Amino acid sequence: MTDRLTYDELAVLMKKGAGLTVDPREMESRPGTAFDDFGLDSLGLLGIVGVLENRHGQPLPAEADRCRTPREFLDLVNNNLMTGA
């Protein structure tokens, strides 16, 4: 993948993977807010990690499922996908 994961895409993944409807603009305006505050728990985040790994055919770092905020998660995922590490 060459495109970066966006807040819009993260919101779609949260809807599909955890059944949560989250406004991506709200996440983008509050990127340091904990996933818990948006209703996403660690199991939901693990599911999102799995979807992204399958989609891109490469593993994400082990700490991906321990990210606490949307900003932390997007930074980690996008840095990993850009470097292919």
pLDDT at 85: 54
56 touches 1 (CB < 8 A): yes
What is the chain's Cα-based Rg? 12
pLDDT in tens, 8-20: 999 999 998 889 9
CATH number of 7-83: 1.10.1200.10
Main-chain dihedrals φ then ψ at residue 46, nearest 5 degrees? -60, -40
Q: In this model, does residue 28 exceed pLDDT 80?
A: yes
